[in-house]
Amino acid sequence: MIIVLKPGATKQEIDHVMEKIEKLGLKPWLSEGVERKIIGVIGEEDVLRVQPLEGIPGVEKVMPILKPYKLASLEYKSEPSTVKVAEGIIIGGKKLTVMAGPCSVEDRGMLLDIARSVKKSGANILRGGAFKPRTSPYSFQGLGEEGLKYLAEAREKTGLAIVTELMDARNLDLVMEYADILQIGARNMQNYDLLKAVGRTDKPVLLKRGMSNTIKEFLMSAEYILAGGNPNVILCERGIRTFEDFTRFTLDINAVPAIKSLSHLPLIVDPSHASGKWGLVPALSRAAVAAGADGLMIEVHPNPEDAFSDGSQSLLPDKFGKVMKEIEQIAEIMGREI
């Protein structure tokens, strides 16, 4: 339920409405927009039918939110949200965000080289997995804390922020220590305990869409994090399973304008996992920016042939540099910048 406050509602009036909602056992969230202040109400709303809030000073109208996700919805917040990751790195504003780097952190020297290279090409966030969700238990599982240390060193040397995957809530404190953004991978999009755990922090969270999940389920997972008290959610479309097997997944480009019509949360597109083929990544990157994405996550590797994971979808550093130039032009048409 959304309570729209009158334009001139005083602080006292707002506090009174907030208290009243809490007394009814519901959770109020005050959202201060440019034009209006509204209060989102989470919980069993039926009590409000017995105790109507319309008529209380300061309240203009009370509207039900019909969607199952509330805090993630545009009804709750009509202006696009931005997530501050570090000084000067804000996701969701006019400036596009580009996260780039290897699928897995493999070794120190390689990571530092790739960090310098993607930074030079214009990326502002370094990606790299230290805990890897692999289909096979025999595949490389990641360097763990050692990998996190290399990521932190790369941040120190380049000024890039760090995004890395958290797979297990037991590693939350460890990963929090090193990462600027916690990545929740596609395979964990509906791991509700993990979502609750990151929801209790205030770290930015990059939530990847599950490969077999609908947009509604995706936004419900974002809702878990928001409802836990963490507003810093960044969505990531990374391709879904379809009958097409030429590509690894199918980039759901529909999801970009669709999610923008439903939610205020920033949205990044990952063309690398979506296609599984490096040759398709430039075109999909251009398409994502043209469709209105707030940025990209792209896998880059100096020697894809020998990559520990996802080599076939990783761009060589110079090809990544070329993609950056191309999306700069698309960004301009879209009124965005890199």
- The residues facing 42 across adjacent strands are 27
Rank residues 69 and 131 by Cβ distance to ligand PEP and give the closer one. Answer: 131
**SS3 category, 161:** strand
Closest CB 88 distance from ligand PEP, rounded Å: 24
Q: Using CA atoms, how far apart are residues 219 and 285, in angstroms rounded to an integer? A: 23
Rank residues 223 and 310 by Cβ distance to ligand PEP and give the closer one. Answer: 310
Closest CB 28 distance from Mn ion, rounded Å: 40
Please give the DSSP secondary-structure letter assigned to residue 335: T
- Match 């805990």 to its residue by tokens: 131
Rank residues 93 and 302 by Cβ distance to Mn ion and give the closer one. Answer: 302
Rank residues 187 and 203 by Cβ distance to Mn ion and give the closer one. Answer: 187
185 in contact with ligand PEP (CB under 6 A): yes
| Partner whose footprint covers residue 264, from Mn ion, ligand PEP, none (CB < 5 to 8 Å by kind) | none
Residues forming contacts to Mn ion in the complex (CB under 5 A) are: 103, 310
**According to the 3-state scheme, what is the secondary structure of 9-69?**
CCHHHHHHHHHHHHHCCCEEEEEECCCCEEEEEECCCCHHHHCCCCCCCCEEEEECCCCCC
Which alpha helices (H) appear in the chain, and where do they start and end? 11-23, 47-50, 108-121, 145-158, 172-178, 192-199, 215-227, 255-262, 271-275, 281-291, 317-333
269 in contact with ligand PEP (CB under 6 A): no
- Asked if residues 213 and 189 have their Cβ atoms less than 8 Å apart, the reply is yes
Stretch that binds ligand PEP, among 67-75, 144-152, 185-193, 323-331 (CB under 6 A): 185-193
| Partner whose footprint covers residue 133, from ligand PEP, Mn ion, none (CB < 5 to 8 Å by kind) | ligand PEP
133, 144, 228, 302: which one contacts ligand PEP (CB under 6 A)? 133
Stretch that binds ligand PEP, among 24-32, 85-93, 148-156, 183-191 (CB under 6 A): 183-191
Closest CB 272 distance from Mn ion, rounded Å: 7
Contact map string, positions 233 to 262, toward ligand PEP, x by CB under 6 A: -----x------------------------
151 in contact with ligand PEP (CB under 6 A): no
186 in contact with ligand PEP (CB under 6 A): yes
Closest CB 191 distance from ligand PEP, rounded Å: 12
- Asked if residues 11 and 19 have their Cβ atoms less than 8 Å apart, the reply is no
| Partner whose footprint covers residue 208, from Mn ion, ligand PEP, none (CB < 5 to 8 Å by kind) | ligand PEP
> Within 10 A of 78 (CB to CB), how many other CB atoms are there?
14
Residue 295 tokens read as 């940025």
Rank residues 106 and 310 by Cβ distance to Mn ion and give the closer one. Answer: 310
**SS3 category, 3:** strand
What is the separation, in whole angstroms, between the first and last Cα of the chain?
A: 37
Amino acid letter, residue 70: K
Determine the size of the site formed for ligand PEP (CB under 6 A).
Answer: 9
Q: Which residues bind ligand PEP (CB under 6 A)?
A: 103, 129, 133, 185-187, 208, 238, 273
